[in-house]
């Protein structure tokens, strides 16, 4: 059963990422069918008791599902003022719903069920060390494919996603994603695993050696060197592709993540010289490859920081300001999950000729759709998982488990920073991968 869950989950994630990052509903439906089918099969197989033994923190996601169900349930009009709805807007109606876009909320409810199922199935896989290891390797392999695809796009000018001809970001690496920022969001979640596994093999390579005895010949003869070179190459490949996406927030988030990884590695058994050596080789590889390819387009992109639009007061900050107005109107239960694009025009003061589909800040968008209390609770739960993963990393002794915990920390930190100015958590494939990583981080305690 575990083998079937592992294969099914890997296939589902690959389909989501390769099919435009899951942004095409018809393609992502395949992923949902696979995941929900695995969930049903797992329940009817009689192995659901394994879930109970994992001590899953199931209350938070179930309460979130209950809230979203409340948003689409018909309620008496007399209760409308309690939910921030004006009775005058409901004249002639006997019932109303908290959600102002029921179809979108129901669609996102199904997404939530999908993510919760993935979270549970990943926790089950975490109890099998080999399956857990293969899942991580599959994620890194998928990341390497995306990075290579993006580099081919950038270097050759072949701006296609398989047979689909791109219409936007024609000078950037986007892999199989439509948007460069979401491509970088995926890579920034995968890169930490390549970096920490490179650190792991470097620690094993230099173990029990000192400056007086560790000659280059002795090091070159050790079998760990090949593994170190492989993981370091993958880390360089992923980072260079991310840089060539020219996503400013993606690059900033990744740098924050790498600093966090190296800092935490310093509190463990990884010696300072090992970390410095990996950082030096990584930096040299990245700089050399980028200089060879050409850094000017990336530098020009950063030169336009804060000026992504040519119109006065029409940028992300303007959208955030409008979104804050939306939150003030519906502070407790929000406007309904997934309803932002429908409700935003009621407060829109910028880009009046455009459809603004997202707030370009996951924190604000979640707060506007679910209300402030729930947004604090949702992101508080994610930060709680991050803190628990840090604690677990410091307690774990086994080198692979320790490396994966550190990789999860880097991935979670990167997305939390990137979410300040983008909406990766609203991109199905990235939300799916993020859910898997959260479960990997949370599941280490149960596995150990």
- For residue 96, the SS3 value is strand
Q: Spell out the SS3 assignment of 106-164.
A: HHHHHHHHHHHHHHHHHHHHCCCHHHHHHHHHHHHHHHHHHHHHHHHHHHHCCCEECCE
In which residue are the tokens 């170190």 written?
Answer: 228
Residues 6+ apart with CB under 8 A from 139: 13, 190, 193, 433, 436
405 contacts 441 by C-beta, under 8 angstroms: yes
Torsion, Cα 131 133 136 142, to 10 degrees, reads -80
d(CA 343, CA 362): 16
Residue 315, CB-side half-sphere exposure with 13 Å CA sphere = 12
10 Å CB burial of residue 139 (0-12, 13-18, 19+) is: buried
d(CA 146, CA 126): 25
In tens, the pLDDT along 159-181 reads: 999 999 999 999 889 999 999 99
d(CA 436, CA 58): 15
Q: What is the pLDDT of residue 62?
A: 81
Q: What is the pLDDT of residue 446?
A: 46
In tens, the pLDDT along 340-394 reads: 999 999 999 988 888 899 999 999 999 999 999 999 999 999 999 999 999 999 8
Helices and strands (H and E) in the chain: how many: 18, 4
A 10 A CB-CB count for 257 gives 26
Tokens of 146: 């995306």
Q: Are strands 160-161 and 95-96 parallel, antiparallel or unpaired?
A: unpaired
Torsion, Cα 153 157 159 160, to 10 degrees, reads -80
Q: What is the pLDDT of residue 89?
A: 65
Main-chain dihedrals φ then ψ at residue 21, nearest 5 degrees: 70, 20
Q: What is the pLDDT of residue 125?
A: 87
d(CA 34, CA 8): 7
**Beta bridge pairs of residue 165:** 160
Main-chain dihedrals φ then ψ at residue 345, nearest 5 degrees: -55, -20
Which helix (H) or strand (E) segment holds residue 76: the answer is: strand 75-76
Q: What is the pLDDT of residue 287?
A: 78
Q: What is the pLDDT of residue 303?
A: 59
pLDDT beneath 50, residues of the chain: 212-214, 306, 309-312, 446-448
190 contacts 140 by C-beta, under 8 angstroms: yes
Residue 127, CB-side half-sphere exposure with 13 Å CA sphere = 16
- For residue 95, the SS3 value is strand
358 contacts 426 by C-beta, under 8 angstroms: yes
d(CA 222, CA 234): 20
d(CA 285, CA 38): 41
The structural domains of the chain, with segments of one domain joined by +, span 2-305+367-447
Residues in the chain: 448
Q: What is the pLDDT of residue 217?
A: 63
**Beta bridge pairs of residue 147:** none
368 contacts 326 by C-beta, under 8 angstroms: yes
Residues 6+ apart with CB under 8 A from 28: 16, 19, 22, 428, 429
């Amino acid at each position: 059963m575990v083998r079937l869950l592992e294969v099914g989950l890997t296939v589902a994630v690959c389909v989501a990422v390769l099919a435009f990052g899951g942004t095409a509903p018809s393609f992502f439906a395949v992923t949902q069918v696979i995941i929900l089918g695995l969930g049903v099969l797992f329940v009817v197989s009689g192995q659901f008791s394994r879930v109970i033994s994992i001590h899953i923190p199931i209350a938070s996601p179930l309460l979130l599902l209950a809230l979203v169900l409340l948003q689409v349930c018909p309620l008496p009009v007399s209760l409308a003022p309690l939910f921030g709805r004006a009775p005058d807007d409901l004249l002639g109606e006997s019932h109303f719903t908290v959600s102002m876009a029921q179809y979108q909320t129901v669609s996102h409810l199904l997404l939530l069920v999908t993510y919760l199922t993935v979270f549970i199935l990943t926790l089950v896989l975490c109890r099998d060390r080999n399956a857990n290891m293969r899942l991580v390797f599959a994620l890194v392999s998928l990341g390497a494919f995306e990075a290579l695809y993006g580099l081919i796009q950038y270097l050759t000018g072949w701006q296609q996603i398989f047979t689909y001809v791109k219409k936007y970001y024609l000078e950037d690496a986007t892999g199989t994603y439509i948007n460069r920022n979401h491509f970088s969001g995926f890579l920034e979640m995968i890169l930490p695993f390549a970096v920490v596994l490179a650190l792991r093999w470097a620690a094993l390579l230099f173990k029990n050696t000192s400056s007086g005895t560790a000659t280059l010949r002795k090091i070159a003869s050790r079998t760990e060197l090949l593994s170190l070179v492989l993981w370091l190459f993958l880390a360089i490949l992923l980072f260079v592709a991310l840089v060539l996406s020219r996503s400013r927030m993606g690059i900033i988030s990744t740098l924050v993540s790498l600093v966090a990884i190296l800092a935490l590695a310093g509190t463990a058994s990884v010696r300072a010289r090992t970390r410095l050596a990996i950082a030096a080789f990584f930096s040299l590889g990245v700089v050399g490859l980028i200089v060879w390819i050409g850094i000017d387009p990336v530098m020009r992109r950063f030169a336009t920081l804060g000026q992504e639009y040519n119109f006065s007061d029409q940028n992300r900050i303007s959208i955030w300001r409008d979104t804050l107005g939306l939150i003030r109107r519906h502070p407790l239960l929000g406007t309904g999950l997934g309803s932002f694009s429908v409700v935003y025009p009621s407060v829109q003061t910028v880009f009046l000729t455009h459809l603004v589909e997202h707030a370009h800040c996951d924190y604000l968008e979640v707060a506007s759709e679910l209300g402030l209390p729930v947004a604090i609770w949702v992101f508080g739960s994610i930060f709680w998982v991050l803190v628990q993963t840090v604690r677990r990393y410091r307690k774990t002794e086994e080198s692979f488990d320790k490396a994966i915990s550190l990789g999860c920390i880097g991935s979670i930190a990167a997305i939390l920073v990137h979410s300040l100015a983008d909406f990766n958590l609203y991109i199905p494939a990235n939300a799916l991968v993020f859910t898997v990583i959260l479960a990997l981080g949370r599941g280490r305690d149960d596995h150990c």
